[in-house]
Amino acid sequence: MVSLAPIEYRIFAPLGVLYDFLIGSFEILAILVIVAVVVFWIRRNIIRLQRFIKPEMKGWPKKDGNMILYIELVLMILFLTMNGADFKLQQMGVEYYTVAGSFPISQFITPLFDGMSASSISMIERTAWWLHIVGILCFLNYLYYSKHLHILLAFPNTYFGKIGPKGQFKNLESVTAEVKLMMDPTADPFAAPAEGASSPEKFGASDVMDLSWVQLLNSYTCTECGRCTSECPANQTGKKLSPRKIMMDTRDRLEEVGKNIDANQGEFKDDGKQLLGDYITNEEIWACTSCNACVEACPVSIDPLSIIMDMRQYLVMEKSAAPAELNNMMGNIENNGAPWPFSQMDRVNWTQEGR
């Protein structure tokens, strides 16, 4: 009988029962992927869950999400088709198609090949094999243009995720020193700074170059699932802020900077743009309540709040561009040691009232 199967066909078949177990497990995983893909597609396109139809999900993000589902569906169908045809050829006793593997799912599609010649079934089996393997290689290349890169980056991102208390903010050494000075009446304000104490060249972040590599890794790891945004109280109350958009904007700007560097022989040429202002607005940044709900909700340990806080720090410390209410409060803290507009000397006046 004619067969297109190569001589190295199923080279791991000598593993015997282990091989049967592996092939059977892959088939069960494949059918589970197909069921999951159908459910996810329905949630995105028929039920249209709120978190999938937010403004930042229009255009490419929506297409990308669906494209990934279509590719996965096709790859799994090709895998089961390949195995079903293979199983049929094994049953027919075709040369090279030695009995190997177990086919708990694809055995149900073998009737589709009834009445076909061995060479036709072999052609189907080989075609499905090649399309499946080439499809996987193409899909791996597509990952770098897609949010699906998270399937590779989720592991290192989770490993490097913040494990300290969620509400803990990092303090700036120079600011801490100033506050201590204010709190200590005996301190000498003209004393030389402690050895090793330094002030950063720039406070906070206005562009991706100011963010840490973990924050940049976060942006490439985002699955765009929207769990953070659906938990965000600012977003729920109609504010512009969406923590998912913060991560998507950071990744988009990073891509733009990368292309700029590629086009300029490894150097970044100022393009008159930055993350804050051109991608993320001040309105979004100041809408954040710093509640950490987005950080808690993220399945892959992404911290959108850290980017928001770095940008706020830039606005306050570099630009003095906080909202007026906050500026008043910060001025009061600086001058009165409290958020209220009263002198420290008047703090206990209320104890005299009514006397």
List residues binding ligand SF4 (CB under 6 A). 222-228, 231-234, 241, 243-244, 247, 288-294, 297-298, 300, 302, 304-305
CB of 208: closest distance to ligand SF4 in angstroms? 16
Minimal distance in Å, beta carbon 249 to ligand SF4? Answer: 12
In the complex, the smallest distance separating the C-beta of residue 45 from ligand SF4, rounded to whole angstroms, is: 18
- Collapsed DSSP state (helix, strand, coil) of residue 280: strand
CB of 101 or CB of 304, closer to ligand SF4: 304
Q: Which is nearer to ligand SF4, 148 or 244 (CB)?
A: 244
Nearer to ligand SF4, 128 or 232 (CB): 232
Q: How far is the CB of 293 from ligand SF4 (least distance, A)?
A: 4
Phi, psi of 280 (to 5 degrees): -110, 130
CB-nearer residue toward ligand SF4: 210 or 231: 231
Identify which of 73, 75, 234, 216 has the alpha carbon closest to the alpha carbon of residue 157.
216
- Tell me how many degrees the CA angle 65-71-76 measures, rounded to the nearest 5: 130
Separation of alpha carbons 243 and 159, rounded Å:
21
CB atoms within 10 A of CB 207: 20
Nearest distance from C-beta of residue 347 to ligand SF4, angstroms: 32
Name which of 31 and 239 has its Cβ closer to ligand SF4. Answer: 239
